[in-house]
Amino acid sequence: MKKILLMCISILLLTGCGKVDKDDLVSSFKEKVESSKAYEINSKMEIYNAEDTFSYDIKVYYMDDDYFKVEMVNTLSEHEQVILRNDDEVYVVTPSLNKSYKFVSEWPYNSSQSYILNTLVKDIDDSKEVGFEENDDGFILTVDVNYPNNSNLSYEKIYFDKKKNLKKVDVYDKDDIVAISVSFNKIDYKANLKEEDFDINKMIEENCCNTDDENNEINDSNNEESSSENQETGSVLEDIIYPLYVPANTFLKNKEIVNTEVGERAILTFNGDKNFVLIEEASQVNDEFEIIPVYGDPLMLSNTIGALSTNSLSWNVDNVSYYLASNDLSTAEILSIADSLNTTNIVEEK
C-alpha cells in the first residue's frame, strides 16, 4: 500500500513540475536575465518596410552597471555600426567613416529594443496585460511595446521553446502585421566580459583607425596620383535621392547644388503645410577618428542607425550622408521621410 501511495505522489510531482504557466515562464526568463552578470547574444534581425526587407546580423554584449555593446551589420550592404553604452554615455560608431555620434541618453531603456534582453524584461514589466499561450513548439508571451518615435508599432510576441529558452521576438504594427523580427541563435548568460570591452578608445584603436601599414602605403600612392583632382572637385554626389513620402500639401520648392571644401552638396527645400530641408552629400572618410556630440538619441531606421535631435536627423547609408531638419515635422514624420529615402529610391542624375 505504501509503495502504491509513493508511486502516486511521484507521478503527481512529475506531472506538476512539467506544467508551465505564464507566471512560471515570466519568472524563469526574468531570473536568467537579472541574475546574469554578463551575457552575449548572436541574433538576426529583419525589418520590413513596405515591400523591402532589411536584414542584420547582430551581436549584443552586456555587463553589470548597464554596459552595452551592439554590433550591427547590414547583410546586404555589409554596412557596420556599433552602439556602445558606458558610464551613461552612448556612442553610435560607423567604423568605415571613422566617425561616431555621442549622446547623453537613457538608451536602451527609453525605447523597446527587441534584440536586448533587459528591455524585453522591461516590456514585460511595463505591459498592461501579458498574454500567454502554448503550442507544439513551446510558449508565447504577448506584451505591449514602447516605441515613442514610431506609434504604429503596437505589441510583440516573445517565443520560447519547451525548455523555456528564448528563441524569437516578433514586433507587430497596428494592423497585426510583423514589422520587426529577431531570431536568437545563441545566448550565453555567463559571458566572460571585462570593462575594457566597452571602452570607446580601445574600440577606436582596434577597429576604426587605419593601422595597416600596407593599406596606408596603397592609400598614399593613390592619393599622390589623384590629389590634384580631389583638391579641385572633392567628392562627387552621383545622384539626388528624393523621398517617396512627404506630408500632405508639402512640395519640393527648390533644389540647389553647392560646392564645399570636401565636395558637392545637394540642398532640397520643401514648403507647404510642413516645411523641411533635406541635405545630401557623399560620405567622407575621416583621416582621424571624429566624435560628434548630439543632444538626442540613437534612432533605428530600416537600414542604418541615425542620430535624432529635437528637430533634426542625421544618418549615413550607401555612401551618402543625409541631414533632415524641420521645425514643423513630428518625429514620426521625420522617420517616415528618412525611411522612404531608403526604399526603392527615386533618383535624378545630376
CA distance 110 to 275: 28
pLDDT value, residue 336 = 92
Decide if pLDDT at 343 tops 60.
no
Supply the mean pLDDT for the chain.
87
* Rounded Cα–Cα distance for residues 54 and 56 (Å): 7
According to the model, what pLDDT value does residue 262 have?
80
**Residue 343: which residues within 8 A CB-CB, separation 6 or more?**
49, 50, 51, 52, 244, 302
pLDDT above 90 (res 10): no
Calculate mean pLDDT across residues 282-307: 91
Q: Say whether pLDDT at 303 is over 80.
A: yes
Contact 189, 39 (CB under 8 A): yes
pLDDT level of residue 286 (50, 70, 90 thresholds): confident
- Residue 126 scores a pLDDT above 60: yes
Residues 158-211 have pLDDT tens digits of: 999 999 999 999 999 999 999 999 999 999 999 999 999 999 998 888 765 444
**pLDDT of 231:** 41
What would the pLDDT profile of 99-113 be if each residue is shown by its tens digit? 999 998 999 999 999
With a cut of 70, say whether residue 14 has pLDDT above it. no
Grid coordinates given for 93: 560608431
**How many CB atoms within 10 Å of residue 153?**
19
- Residue 223 confidence (pLDDT) above 50: no
CA separation for the pair 337, 329 (Å, rounded)? 10
d(CA 291, CA 143): 37
pLDDT at 206: 76
Question: Can you give the pLDDT at residue 253?
Answer: 97
**Of 8 and 30, which is predicted with more confidence?**
30
Q: Per-residue confidence at 318, pLDDT binned at 50, 70, 90?
A: confident
The CATH fold of domain 239-349: Phosphorylase Kinase; domain 1 (3.30.200)
What is the arithmetic mean of pLDDT over 311-319? 92
Domain covering 21-188 in this structure, CATH number: 2.50.20.10
Residue 348 CA to residue 343 CA, distance in Å, equals: 15
Q: Where are the domains of the chain?
A: 21-188, 239-349
Q: How far apart are CA 169 and CA 171, in angstroms?
A: 7
CA–CA dist 50, 343 (Å, integer): 8
Check residue 178 and give its pLDDT.
Answer: 97
Span 81-101, pLDDT tens digits: 999 999 879 999 999 999 999
CA distance 274 to 248: 8
Q: CA 294 from chain center: how many Å? A: 17
| Averaged pLDDT for residues 309-317 | 92
At 6, is the pLDDT very low, low, confident or very high (cuts 50, 70, 90)?
Answer: low
pLDDT digits (tens, 9 = 90+) for 29-82: 999 999 999 999 999 999 998 788 999 999 999 999 899 999 999 998 899 999
Contact predicate 94/316, CB 8 Å: yes
Percentage of residues in the chain having pLDDT higher than 90: 71
Q: Give yes or no on whether 21-188 and 239-349 have one common fold.
A: no
Distance CA 233, CA 279 (A): 19
What does the H/E/C string look like for the chain?
A: CHHHHHHHHHHHHHHHHHCCCHHHHHHHHHHHHHCCCEEEEEEEEEEEECCEEEEEEEEEEEECCCEEEEEEEECCCCCEEEEEEECCEEEEEEHHHCEEEEECCCCCCCCCCCCCHHHHHHHHHHCCCCEEEECCCEEEEEEECCCCCCCCEEEEEEEEECCCCEEEEEEEECCCCEEEEEEEEEEECECCCCHHHHCHHHHHHHHHCCCCHHHHHHHHHHHHHHHHHHHHHCECCCEEEECCCCCCCEEEEEEEEEECCCEEEEEEEEEECCCEEEEEEECCCCCCCEEEECCEEEEECCCCEEEEECCEEEEEECCEEEEEECCCCCHHHHHHHHHHHCCCCEEEEC
